Amino acid sequence: MSQPYNCPDCGAVHPDGSTCPEVFGRLLALEMTDPGFGQVHLFTVACYMIQHNGYSDPALVWMERQLRDHLAGTPAAEIRRRSAQEVSQAERKWKVTRQPGDRPLPRVAWSRTIADADRAAGDPAAYQAAVTAWARAVVEEMRPLLPR
């Protein structure tokens, strides 16, 4: 029996002892191989990155807007188009990933984490519902992370 793993970044508890990067890798593999799971790919990546302090300040601001739009019905294809246009151009001026020396981010007591998505990974519909609920929670709770 392995010990449960408690993530110091997002607060997720993984009963099988997996770390968040391990669970993230498993879920991405599932999303790549099964379109029923892959539909929520954008949410999975954004939520994971936000909860593990992966985004720079401009990327946090940009991604918060995309998450809100996607939750409100903007198709993933449109978000990808914006990403290709706005972020690839912006990438010349700002980094997407958080850099050493960027301001430290406050800790957030997240109500949902990747562990909730992982628990629903046995069924595509349950998984989509769990990841969408995760994204809703992240958008509401990420406010303290946004630059003032």
Q: Give whichever of 14 and 79 is closer to Zn ion, judged by the CB atom.
A: 14
In the complex, minimum distance from the CB of residue 118 to Zn ion, in angstroms, rounded to a whole number: 11
3-class state of residue 35 by DSSP: helix
Q: Give whichever of 47 and 79 is closer to Zn ion, judged by the CB atom.
A: 47
In the complex, minimum distance from the CB of residue 134 to Zn ion, in angstroms, rounded to a whole number: 12
Binding-site member from 5, 7, 24, 120 for Zn ion (CB under 5 A): 7
Query: Of 1-9, 35-43, 59-67, 85-93, which segment contacts Zn ion by CB under 5 A?
Result: 1-9
In the complex, minimum distance from the CB of residue 52 to Zn ion, in angstroms, rounded to a whole number: 6
- Give residues with Cβ within 8 angstroms of 11, minimum separation 6: 109, 110, 113
Q: Counting contacts by CB under 5 A, is residue 9 touching Zn ion?
A: yes
Q: Counting contacts by CB under 5 A, is residue 139 touching Zn ion?
A: no
- Pairwise CA distance, residues 66 & 43, whole Å: 10
Restricting to residues 13-72, name those near Zn ion by CB under 5 A.
Answer: 20
In the complex, minimum distance from the CB of residue 138 to Zn ion, in angstroms, rounded to a whole number: 12
In the complex, minimum distance from the CB of residue 79 to Zn ion, in angstroms, rounded to a whole number: 23
Alpha helices in the chain (DSSP H): 20-33, 35-38, 41-51, 57-71, 76-82, 88-90, 114-119, 124-141
CA distances from 81 to 28, 64, 75, 101 (A): 21, 16, 10, 30
Q: Give whichever of 40 and 114 is closer to Zn ion, judged by the CB atom.
A: 114
- Pairwise CA distance, residues 130 & 42, whole Å: 14
Residue closest to 23 by CA, chosen among 39, 47, 59: 47
Q: Which residues lie near Zn ion (CB under 5 A)?
A: 7, 9-10, 12, 20
